[in-house]
Amino acid sequence: MSHIHQYYLSVIAVLLLSGTATAKQTIKVGYIEFPPAFYTDKTGQANGILIKLTDKVMKKSGYSWTAHSYPTKRMAHYIATGELHLWVGLTTLPEFKGTTLIGPSKLLEISLQSYFIGKKPPINSKEDLKNKKIISVLGYSYGGLTNFIKDPNNKIINYETSSQESAFKMLKAGRADYLLTYKGPATKVLTRLEISDLNQSNISKYGVYFVVSKMTPNAEIILKDLEQAYQSIRKEGTP
């Protein structure tokens, strides 16, 4: 056998072994309590639209995985440091800059809404927030809007609260004119909380992507595998 043939056989063997090792990795997936996208259900298990999608993609690509719920800032920190390997969500968290690989496929969109009672001017952009009194939910980055909200030049009075339910109760009580939150979690809360003459307007839409920590072993291979699995699932018509 020639040296050239031996070389190529060695390369193929290494690639096959590498692929096998990669497929056997257990991927640590971070998520936050953000129903219906992801949440911890009554049995203590991770659940939600994006959890189910992640499970399909993992099975298709041959990876085992575990799900770990954290507050947003801690989850983002763990992705940046490699303690978590994958996040399936928004890419706008500042901790991700320079520390992650982001896939090209937009998995779905998440809508950021403003909610208000009665006939008030709708909030359709961040500029509309200037000189307004608003309510926001702690732990959300609002697609990077938090810096704009906190900028004293914009004269925004912001009341922060810890949950969706308390935020809507504050709005109902007239504590502020507008509530900023995401449509999915808000819809879930509003099924059990009645507010008369409640209106909403869309501020922005943000894409959901695969976000892999650069500190993850075989990070580029994993992202490629997940993207290929997702596209295959889409072609089969079962995303």
- For domain 110-205, the CATH class is alpha beta
How far does CA 52 lie from the centroid of its chain? 14
Q: Say what the pLDDT of residue 125 is.
A: 94
Q: Say what the pLDDT of residue 24 is.
A: 63
pLDDT tens digit at each of 239 positions of the chain: 555 455 444 444 444 444 444 556 899 999 999 999 999 999 999 999 999 999 999 999 999 999 999 999 999 999 999 999 999 999 999 999 999 999 999 999 999 999 999 999 999 999 999 999 999 999 888 988 999 999 999 999 999 999 999 999 999 999 999 999 999 999 989 999 999 999 999 999 999 999 999 999 999 999 999 999 999 999 988 66
Q: What is the pTM of this model?
A: 0.83
CA distance 171 to 178: 7
Q: Say what the pLDDT of residue 10 is.
A: 47
Domain range annotation of the chain: 25-108+207-236, 110-205
CATH number 3.40.190.10 given to 25-108+207-236 = yes
Please determine whether the domains at 25-108+207-236 and 110-205 fall in the same fold group of CATH: yes
Q: Say what the pLDDT of residue 238 is.
A: 66
How far does CA 105 lie from the centroid of its chain? 14
Q: Are 213 and 80 in contact (CB under 8 A)?
A: yes
Residues 6+ apart with CB under 8 A from 198: 115, 116, 117, 190
Q: Say what the pLDDT of residue 52 is.
A: 97
12, 88, 107, 142, 216 from 97: Cα distances, Å: 35, 16, 20, 16, 15
CA torsion 71-75-76-79 (nearest 10°) is 180
CA distance 91 to 57: 19
